Amino acid sequence: MRTIEDVRTFAFPINIEEDKDGFFAECIILPGCVTQGDTYEEAVHNIKEAIHLYVQTLEDDGLEIPQLAVIPAGLQTVEISV
């Protein structure tokens, strides 16, 4: 069982763009971690969920979780706790 001390929080930079079908969201440091939503809010929710699943898979496989040492100004981020 995990305890509160085991929980770690990471900030991931994301990019969200509007297109003809709604909003496209990607995590720029996790290759292939993309999603979409009908609204901006839905796209943010979906990319957070996609990042969380991606990070869980990395941890399950014993792989390192990519992080930027410094997140450039102007990039939007979302926080994920694992």
Span 5-63, pLDDT tens digits: 556 888 999 999 999 999 999 999 999 999 999 999 999 999 999 999 999 999 999 99
Question: Residues near 61 by Cβ (< 8 Å), separated by ≥ 6?
Answer: none
Q: Tell me the HSE value of 4 on the side-chain side, using a 13 A CA sphere.
A: 0
Question: Which pLDDT belongs to residue 4?
Answer: 52
Q: What is the pLDDT of residue 27?
A: 96
Is residue 71 very low, low, confident or very high in pLDDT (cuts 50, 70, 90)? confident
SS3 46: helix
Q: What is the pTM of this model?
A: 0.85
- What's residue 5's pLDDT? 57
